[in-house]
Chain A
Amino acid sequence: MYLLRRFGQFVLVVFVGINIVFFVTHATPIDPVEQAISSATQFGQSDPQAVEIMRKALRELYGLDGTIWQQYANFWKRLATGDFGPSLSAFPTPVSALIGQALPWTLGLLFTSTLIAWGVGNFLGGLAGYYRKNRLLKAVGIAATGLQPIPSYIMSFVVLILFGYIWPILPISGGFQMNIHPDLSFPFVSSVVGHSILPVVSLVLITIGAWFIGMRSLVSNIVTEDYVVFAELAGVDRHRILTSYIMRNALAPQLTGLALSLGGIFNGAIITEVVFGYPGLGTLLVRGVNTGDYSLVLGITSISIVAVATAVFAIDLLYPLLDPRVKVE
């Protein structure tokens, strides 16, 4: 029952998301075909027949031929097969190949930083909520309050300036050093890790504040719950109360919170990539917009929606492991 409902939600997200994408691309006054043609013909005279052939070819490429219902069906078909056609800016490489190259970088960044931020943030927040008088934790709390509201771009930018210009000890652009051959050798792997440090640090700083503050307030509420009071009355070891009674009970709502904020974390990830020139979906997206590559932008947007929806569904599957009160059937 629970699984069915969460799967239903997954389907709904993908459905609504793709519909919004479709709506945005078709409800605006700009016609991407005309745009492409005008940028291609701006440098001089063009043969009208050639232009006509180009127009037809582009229409087919973009899936914009036929009636609106045909286009709609076509759109879904493309999403299902993952084929968005060739990219205009990197002709004739298919869009799916470009996305396939960039996706692992984004996923790696997302996964690492979310794990670190959620884990460390919740742990420190739990300690801060329980040991209210501890001065160190109070200081960490103030730092978190200062960090939390700062949006992704500004944070990444500040990190870039700090480590790129003021104290240049870490590489600030690219995924790895350009002249190393990509394989599993140590120089390559260490280069990858080295180049990922700053983006990961940025993304962790962006998201950790919210986890800390949320966990801290959650824990200070849980401390008043009956089972905690009972355990304290029984003289159960304080350390055990903190881990087994308090934090363990706070993890379930925090996991739900993670599922709900994944959309925002994904946003933060791709913005960070743009700042650091990290070869993920973010840089690809901006490049696509700047070169007028319609298929690429469309493809990335659609894949983003599906990726985030899948990640949320995966987290929903993990939830019953943390909260035995959920009935899974």
Chain B
Amino acid sequence: MDVALSVRNLRAYYLLGYFGIEREVRAVDDITLSVNKKEIYGIAGESSCGKSSFIRTIAAAIRPPLRVLGGSIKYNFLDRDLYDLDEKALADMRWKHLSYIPQGSMNVLNPVRRVRESFKDFAFPHMQLNQIQFFDVVNRHLERLHLSRSVLTAFPHELSGGMRQRVAIALATVCRPEFIIADEPTTALDVVVQKDVLALILEMQREIGSSMIFVTHDLTVHANISNRLGIMYAGRLIEEGPTRDMLREPMHLPTLNIWSPACHGSATLPRRTRCREHRRVWPSRHRVAASTRAVRWQWTFAAKPIRS
């Protein structure tokens, strides 16, 4: 089985020092996972569990005070660890091999420039075409995403939420990258538009044949789109496995907590069964409570002062 991305023991912390007090916030705390080729790996977790920090770390888009402290990130199209690349190699690799679908919020495209400028900035440098050919390709791509050509001459605030999200998807996929990271692409959309957008993402991914990491807290979306599912909590990956198995028999209480609303109270108590690929990645140190409401937070995410 070919592996598209292999992350081993990744640690990235926020190192903060303000007014004499130093703190570290463990945004990414010893994560190990791998994504196979042509697979969609879903990541779920509640807010502030470190999903976005993890995403940005594996996309090499972090700024201080977030720093990588250890571990390795290896993509199959690179010969070295991601953080061993120099600036130029990183820039070359971006968008052509590794792209990113953001949440299509109001602010995700440059508000003072028309959409076509964004396409020129993002994709044009990577495709060796002249302008006419380039916009030909872009137009055809937009059609496949059910967007009309007039989108190119519009300003971002003139588009609806769904259109903006589809433009973001178009931007990310026009260069046909091998690896796509999708960061909550459907969170801001209503359910009807969500269905369309998800279908488009799936279609694109199948057509281009890229691997994808899909982040969202919505388990119903994962049920529809992810092949495998990983649950994050407090900067750690606490559970991982094929989506169907995960949704049927979650092992850990935090998983249970984000899962039960989706099942509307028909929760069955978790049983300690194991199947071949469904591994428990984080040993549970607590008793499974009878009620899903009684949860004891054993892992703290917040600041631990090193020195005060």
Contacts and interface: CB of A to CB of B under 8 A. Distances in A.
Contacts of A229: 61
Interface in A203-239: 225-227, 229-237
A229 B63 CA distance: 10
Given A235-B95, A240-B121, A230 B102 contact: yes
A135 interface: no
Contacts of A323: 112
A327 B287 CA distance: 60
A282 B105 CA distance: 51
B94 interface: yes
Q: Interface extent on A, as a size class?
A: 20 to 34
B113 A244 contact: yes
Interface in B93-147: 93-95, 99-100, 102, 105, 107-113, 117, 121-122, 125
A234 B172 CA distance: 9
B155 A227 contact: no
A43 B59 CA distance: 89
B107 A244 contact: no
Given A227-B108, A249-B111, A233 B100 contact: yes
A162 interface: no
Contacts of A230: 100, 102, 108-109
B59 A244 contact: no
A248 B112 contact: yes
A227 B91 CA distance: 18
Contacts of B102: 226, 230, 233
Contacts of B92: 235
B108 A234 contact: no
A322 interface: yes
A235 B155 contact: no
Contact of B112 (A234, A236, A324): A324
B157 interface: yes
B19 to A, nearest CB: 19
Contacts of A252: 112
Contacts of A234: 94-95, 99-100, 121-122, 171
Interface residues of B, number: 27
Interface string B51-81: 0000010010100000000000000000000
Given A234-B95, A324-B155, A226 B121 contact: no
B112 A226 contact: no
A252 B112 CA distance: 10
A235 B94 contact: yes
A227 B122 contact: no
A322 B155 CA distance: 13
Nearest to A249: B112
A181 interface: no
Contact of A226 (B56, B108, B155): B108
Contacts of A225: 107
A5 interface: no
A245 interface: yes
A118 B247 CA distance: 59
B121 A231 contact: yes
A323 B102 CA distance: 24
B112 A231 contact: no
B47 to A, nearest CB: 17
Contacts of B93: 235
B100 A325 contact: no
A227 B94 contact: no
A248 B108 contact: no
Select the residue from B108, B112, B122, B125 with max chain A CB neighbours within 10 A.
B112
A231 B90 CA distance: 14
Contacts of A237: 121, 125
Nearest to B125: A237
Contacts of B117: 244
Contacts of A227: 107-111
Closest 5 CB pairs of A and B: A235-B94, A226-B107, A235-B91, A234-B122, A233-B61
Interface of B: 56, 59, 61, 90-95, 99-100, 102, 105, 107-113, 117, 121-122, 125, 155, 157, 171
